[in-house]
Amino acid sequence: MTPIQDDLREVNIRFRSMLLELSSVLYLQGIRRIHYGLDFIDDDSRPSDYAVTEYLDGRVEEQDRYPELLSPDVFVWGVKYCQPYTFDVASALLQLDEAGGSVEVRPGMTCMYHSQKRRLRLELEAEQDLSGLCFGYHDDFDEAFTPLRDQGITAVYFGVNRDGDRYPLADWVYVARQGQPGTRPAPEHRAALEQIREVIELLPRYGAFYVDTAQLVILDAPPGQGGLVTSSDTQASAWHTEQQRQALERQHTAGPR
């Protein structure tokens, strides 16, 4: 038996009555399992910012925070090791999450995951590799952008702004066409970006980007073809053209009226 298994055995014995009581409560709520994790950050254990709840009717819900139904006194401070965990309602046992794993985001910071979506996001954060993200969603890109490629469009430029804790798409879209210099506005092709919104929401940063319709990947906009104008620590707007950049700078310099 490994040290982690030993620790889980001790936890399940020490908190047995509490786990049985919790199991009864969760069962009445139709819950089958709850998955969560403990990250290792700078020599300390911290709850991972995710919770995946499986229901008896087959539904699965994922949230970007520690599961509030699980008492930290037991499920965080009561265990010794930073791992992905599963609380199984039927057995009322805390177990290792067999579907989960960990990603070293940076030296001294290892984060847990249950879903492949979160794993991919952590790996991108570690590698800052946009092409890896796109590869995982190839079918979505193919459906959205192959028709545009067939129309002679080689690139679709777009931006992601920052507005506090939100990262909305910028209100512009530009395209480049085969055999034609420069780019032109193409708001009608925003629908293609909406088809890959799930991918865009996973981008590890905000800024100016473009979709290469030949490779079906998202790439950073080349120098001079996109960037950010930052007005505060929590506000930034993406641009594609020099005119946009200048207008944003004037707007931020003038401030709110």
Number of domains in the chain: 2
Structure tokens at 13: 């014995």
Residue pLDDT, tens place only, 207-238: 999 999 998 888 888 888 999 998 877 889 99
Q: Which domain holds residue 170?
A: 128-254
Q: Does residue 142 sit in the same domain as residue 107? A: no
Residue pLDDT, tens place only, 89-109: 999 999 999 999 999 877 778
Q: Does residue 206 sit in the same domain as residue 238? A: yes
Q: Does residue 192 sit in the same domain as residue 205? A: yes
CB 209 within 8 A of CB 131: no
With H, G, I as helix, E, B as strand and everything else as coil, classify residue 64. Answer: coil
Alpha helices in 129-241 (DSSP H): 130-135, 138-150, 190-195, 197-200
Structure tokens at 200: 């865009």
pTM of the predicted model over 0.85: no
* Cα–Cα distance measured from residue 93 to residue 47, given in angstroms and rounded to the nearest whole number: 19
Q: Does residue 80 sit in the same domain as residue 187? A: no
Q: Does residue 91 sit in the same domain as residue 174? A: no
Q: Does residue 113 sit in the same domain as residue 192? A: no
* Cα–Cα distance measured from residue 74 to residue 253, given in angstroms and rounded to the nearest whole number: 51
